[in-house]
Amino acid sequence: DAGVTQSPTHLIKTRGQQVTLRCSPKSGHDTVSWYQQALGQGPQFIFQYYEEEERQRGNFPDRFSGHQFPNYSSELNVNALLLGDSALYLCASSGNPSYEQFFGPGTRLTVL
């Protein structure tokens, strides 16, 4: 049983560019949450998708947007990249009735 997978593993972009990160949830999970983790910090919640809708959102600007597909996979899009967007982006999946969130390996984004 494959766990949560994310692609790509690493990305290097320049300021002002746009990026799309992808996540496939663990089999049987229908909820996907995205987190940003800066170096030395805990993960920060960006938003959560359930039934192809954004259900909750953290304190992130509109430059951060997402999508969930019918197969429950998800994308995170970030527009107009800033240097401060450099971080590890983690995707976590969970499924009713389970409460646990399982994290993927993350995408390391570097903005130059």
Partner 1 sequence: QQPVQSPQAVILREGEDAVINCSSSKALYSVHWYRQKHGEAPVFLMILLKGGEQKGHEKISASFNEKKQQSSLYLTASQLSYSGTYFCGTEGGRDYGGSQGNLIFGKGTKLSVKP
Residues interacting with partner 1, by CB under 8 A? 30-31, 33, 35, 41-45, 48, 50-51, 55-56, 58, 90, 94-106
Chain mean position to CA 82: 17
CB of 52 within 8 A of CB of 69?
yes
Q: Which residues contact 38 (CB under 8 A, 6 or more apart)?
A: 44, 87, 88
Q: Is 84 helix (H, G, I), strand (E, B) or coil?
A: helix
Question: Which of 29, 81 has the CB closer to partner 1?
Answer: 29
Please state the closest distance from residue 102 (CB atom) to partner 1, in A.
Answer: 6
> CB neighbours (10 Å) of residue 100?
10
What's the rounded Cα separation, in Å, for the pair 57 and 59? 7
Question: Which of 31, 74 has the CB closer to partner 1?
Answer: 31
Please state the closest distance from residue 15 (CB atom) to partner 1, in A.
Answer: 25
Question: Which of 50, 75 has the CB closer to partner 1?
Answer: 50
Question: Which of 59, 62 has the CB closer to partner 1?
Answer: 59
Please state the closest distance from residue 7 (CB atom) to partner 1, in A.
Answer: 14
